[in-house]
Amino acid sequence: MSRISRYLPLDALGQDSVALFRESYFKLQRPVILPRGLFRDYRAASRWFSPLSTPSTPCSGLNYPYLEPYGDCYVPLELTIPDGKNGNIFERAHKPLSLFLQWTRSVQSLPPADTDESCPIPRLYLAQCQLIDLPSSLRDDFPTPSYVTQAGKGDIYDTNIWVGMAPTYTPLHRDPNPNLFMQLAGSKRVRLLAPDTGRGVFAEVREKLASSQAGHGHSSAIRGEEMMKGAENQLLDRAVWGSSEQCKEESVPTVESNSPGNQSENGYDAVLHAGDALFIPTGWWHSIKGVGQGVTASVNWWFR
């Protein structure tokens, strides 16, 4: 089976050029970070979020006066309650946006120690919210970048919004189409595996689940509920990220293969800040963690 030998920093495009992106990355299905800060002035970034001052580091918060008038809008929320013994307790349901806004207010009022990742407080994540489900005035805050409309055929399959309080987490999975992933607020760390490498890591996790009778027949490689709780969540996290100390933003760690005799491959590691965007080709496996403090938010387009 494939084992990850190390994670390499992902290249960034040297200039703002759709033509260069198309020829060197989109057509060749190579992942790349677009020029750093290219979308710093993106409409949703300035309207949905506002800077917050903290004693230690600046971070982002939600622009409540702008969003609260849309509180009756129903959005998909993921509720995660950490459970050290059995993995996460996880539920996904459509709830009013006002519920999410109230929760973020309450979390931001807590002392930093009470929002630590090891503290088992319930967490809400506005995850994979389809743009089409928002009111038209909010949809207007998400114009489609030219890198999506001009690099390929211009076909857009879906646009999704992700907003949460760090730490947020999406386990290892692959998407059915090319993906442009834009960071709107806060920071996220992304780990990428080529199709064959990721398939080997995912298969190894499935085998471990089957041997422990914890898999219950699930086989989907698309982000799903079974990945977000229990044994599958824990095994996927360990396979990609290693120990919790290896997930910190300050460095790009190396994960060594346990056995020199096993086939090993490199992965890629990228930290995205507000205004950055990442191209994830079809079939490339990826896992994403929100890092730092405050709100972390993204939008992604599936296109071709």
Q: Give the domain CATH number at 109.
A: 2.60.120.650
Q: What is the pLDDT of residue 3?
A: 62
The residue segments making up the domain with residue 20 are 3-303
Q: What is the pLDDT of residue 57?
A: 52
Q: What is the pLDDT of residue 85?
A: 64
Q: What is the pLDDT of residue 291?
A: 94
Q: What is the pLDDT of residue 252?
A: 44
pTM: 0.85
The pairing of beta strand 295-303 with beta strand 59-62: unpaired
Q: What is the pLDDT of residue 137?
A: 97
The pairing of beta strand 295-303 with beta strand 264-273: unpaired
| Among 294, 284, 293, 299, residue whose Cα is nearest residue 191 | 284
Look-up of token digits 């929002």:
115
Q: What is the pLDDT of residue 109?
A: 75
Number of domains comprising the chain: 1
Phi, psi (rounded to 5 degrees) for 14: -75, -20
Residues of the chain with pLDDT under 70: 1-3, 52-58, 84-87, 111-120, 212-230, 243-264
Distance, CA of 156 to CA of 133 (rounded, Å): 16
Name the strand (E) or helix (H) holding 285. Answer: strand 285-291
